[in-house]
Structure 1
Amino acid sequence: MLLPLLNVLLVTTAADSYDAAVEDLATSAVFVSLDIDETSIAAGIEHSCAIYTQSYDDVGGRVVCWGVNNGGQSSPPAGKFIQVSSGRLHSCGIRIDETVECWGSGAPVVKPEGMFEQVSSGDFHSCGIMKDQTVHCWGTAVGGISNPPSGKFVQVSCGKDFSCAIAIDGRVICWGENGYGQLNVDPNTRFRQISASPGDFVCGVTEDNTLSCWGDNHRNQASPPRDLKFTLVSTSRLAACGLKMDKTVVCWGMRSGVTAAPTDVQFDELSLGWNHGCAIRFDDGGVQCWGDRGSNRLEIPGELL
């Protein structure tokens, strides 16, 4: 009997022009993000969520969550979603009508208005890329993280108390707290995909599929392998893992449950939480997790296996 598969829902966007409000990013090239992190699998601090569908032909699916549920973060609403992202005590997802809905502790009483291309959840805030490619954020306002830059963007990633986004020319802009240099990205580097850590660093896949990381590096979490090519990267508090071109995973940083990722399995997607990680297998579309078993973080619901 064939098991139902998880639909891998990658979000890609493009644009023909750039908002003059961010003049220092002006360029003749338009860069398109190829892989958006945490699309149909999302590991939060102590919980995870995934989008479950019956076949690859389905448009959207229901969200299934597991792990800690002390704030309702593992109790998603009914209905179909096309993307999900998990933070500390909450998660947010994009429904098939392209509206955003969040659940858990700290979820907005009034859901964000408008239509969205992508959403990302951090510690106590979330941000999304709207249909007009501007960034909209909600939640805590510490460090100015609820005040994103103007301009047009293709991906946003929310960290602990800061966020970063890829502009349409491939450059990254970060805002919020900067105690460890997590906002100090190289303005000359172009990125395909980024991941802001629930700690104080950022990693991204550059245009040549190498990795670039910045911010806190006291456990070598911002020192990725230099001789490998990647399609996707995901960050934890003090470690990170990347999906190589052959779809296998390599990790670096503090030795922990996160860095115990299987190295002989091919994956399509990858997402790290505080001390665990989850990924979607390439061969059968099932979910596989590793790391800290506490709080049922590795107790994947049967339909996702």
Structure 2
Amino acid sequence: MSTCATCNTATTCTSCSGIYWLKGATMTCVTTCPEGFFKAPDHVCRRCHARCATCTAGGYWTCSSCVAPYLLSGTTCDLCSVPYWVHGLQQHQRLHGLRLNALEDGRLALRATCNAGGFQNCTSCGSTRFLLGTSCANCAVCSSGTVCTTCSTNFWKNADGQCVSTCSAGTFKNPQTWTSTAHCQACTSPCVTCDTSADYCLTCENGGTPVSGVCPSANLCAGVTCPAAGECESAAGMCDPATGQCSASTAKPDKTTCSFGLCLTGKCRAETGAVRCWGYNALGQATPPANLPPSSAIAAGDHYTCAIAAGTGASSAIFAGGFHTCAIAAATGAVRCWGNDDWGQSTPPAGLPLLSAIVGGDYHTCAIASDTGAVRCWGDDQFGQTTLPANLPAASAITARAYYTCAVAAGTGAVRCWGHSDYDHLTPPANLPPSSVIAAGEYHACVAAADTGAVRCWGHSGNGQATPPANLPPV
């Protein structure tokens, strides 16, 4: 025959070439192999794998369609009921004669039946897997092909019998740490969402804010309108549904620019913290130096007054004595004095440490070191007002007037006084309780009890100045 490459009779070919392939059943050379055969490289029509209905020139296992009950997976035909390792790439490997995929979660998945979509499109699962969509997943034990009774490690069974790693809103993991009975349990009213137990609420049905997992009985913010944020506030106060109270607005940082001045403690203030003085000024005690840094306090002298307007806060303390004034710079703790200096009371000594408090009498000045609480005094000492008593402890508060000084001991609240005395104002009462605040007049002194704030005074009381009113509230 003209199509044969070789032949043994006029009608029987033994090999073919060119565009012809040997068809074994008839020993003829053909251009198209019959169904179930593929064109082999040796120009022979060879049979496809038994699972293939048709295959391509790639080989007997290069299927293009399958015979029942096999389903095409790529170029191979597989049974749904064969064990598989599930893997997104579905790259097959043979292992002990079974066709397996590398499974991402490391577990064997047994498919029982598949639909026409292929072996990855399951319609039911074997005894150890649960049908989730078209995949078999995560059951440790199933009661049927569609319902789990026990979930695999780190999976919780939900109300639908599915095994999930995260419980849906309105349910919580019970228990929190996986056990063989792990399941998603529904929250109970009034919880919308919960955690650790069905009645430990994270959110509430009435919109209230739970306190330690407990919802308020009602949303107390109904009808409550909180004030809007002011100019020195970055956020308005919010109503707490559990209490019905408006929280404080969030204040802008101090020194934030306002439409006038600066924000300080939530309010616009026009001042910059400059010291202002007024009154008797024969010795310059009411004339602050031009370059004095700003502060925030007030003090009254014998015949004049000084105030530190709230602002940049560059000074932290001020006093007005008989004829001189001193202020402490907030940023550095350094002291500046002005006014009369006949006794050196306005000239702080060299080596003076940073200060936390400062006071003065007519012609002397005393202060407390900010680091140690030690008392330092300078100026007139003709009555011993700048000579510290022996064993004077560190002080937490100090006061001075005329020709004497008193201090409150840090820790104990005990009061010690020294200097000139005409009316026993240097001798605190024997039963004086520990004190936190102390103030001195010309010939009397007063303290506030550290625990109650009650005021006690001693010394000259010719005008009742050392006799607190009966209804005086704590200070």
* Amino acid corresponding to residue 236 of structure 1 in structure 2: G
Report which structure shows greater RCO (CA 8 Å, sep ≥6). Answer: 1
Native 8 Å contact 1:249 1:263 kept in 2: no
Question: Cα gap change, 1:145/1:188 in structure 2, threshold over 3 Å: closer, same or farther?
Answer: same
CA contact (8 A) 2:296 2:317 kept: no
Q: Return the letter of the residue paired with 2:336.
A: H
TM-score by length of structure 1 reads 0.55
Q: 2:459 is matched with which residue?
A: 253
Per the alignment, do residues 82 and 190 of structure 1 end up closer, same or farther by CA in structure 2, a change over 3 Å counting? Answer: same
1:70, 1:175 → 2: CA distance? 24
**Partner of residue 164, structure 1:** 366
> 1:192 corresponds to which residue?
396
Aligned equivalents of 1:253 and 1:210: distance in 2? 17
Q: Deviations over 1:172-229 (max 9, x none)?
A: 11111111110111364111010111x2111111111111111112310100124311
1:84 aligns with 2:291: no
Residues in 2 aligned to 1:172 and 1:61: alpha-carbon distance in whole angstroms: 36
Distance 1:81 1:116 in 2: 4
Instruction: Pick the aligned partner of 2:423 from 207, 211, 219.
Output: 219
Kindly state the Cα deviation for residue 98 of structure 1 after the two structures are TM-superposed.
4.2
Pick the aligned partner of 1:117 from 316, 333, 337: 316
Shift of 1:59: 7.8
- Structure with bigger gyration radius: 2
1:202 matched residue in structure 2: 405
Q: What does the per-residue CA deviation read over 1:207-256, in whole Å, with 9 as the maximum and x for residues that have no partner?
A: 11111111112310100124311111110111111111311211111122
Distance 1:81 1:57, change over 3 A: farther
Match of 2:296, SS state, is strand
Residue in 2 aligned with 1:152?
Answer: 354
Unaligned residue ranges in structure 1 (runs of 5+):
1-55, 63-67, 75-79, 100-114, 269-305
Task: Judge conservation of contact 2:296–2:315 (CA < 8 Å) in 1.
Answer: no
Corresponding letter in the other structure for 2:308: I
**Can you give the 5+ residue segments of structure 2 that lack an aligned partner in the other structure?**
1-264, 272-277, 287-293
* Residue 261 (structure 1) shift: 2.0
**What corresponds to 1:262 in structure 2?**
469
- Over 6 Å off, 4+ runs: 59-62, 68-71
> Aligned equivalents of 1:93 and 1:142: distance in 2?
24
- 1:20-59 aligned at under 5 Å gives the runs none
Aligned to 2:447: 242
Q: 1:166 to 1:259 in 2, by over 3 A?
A: same
More helix by share: 1
In the aligned structure 2, how far is the partner of 1:235 from the partner of 1:226?
Answer: 18
1:118–1:156 contact (8 Å) kept in structure 2: yes
d(CA) in 2 for partners of 1:58, 1:229: 36
Pair 120,61 (structure 1): closer, same or farther in 2 beyond 3 Å: farther
Confirm or deny that 1:134 pairs with 2:370.
no
Secondary structure of the 2:343 match is helix
One-letter amino acid of the structure 2 residue matched with residue 265 of structure 1? L
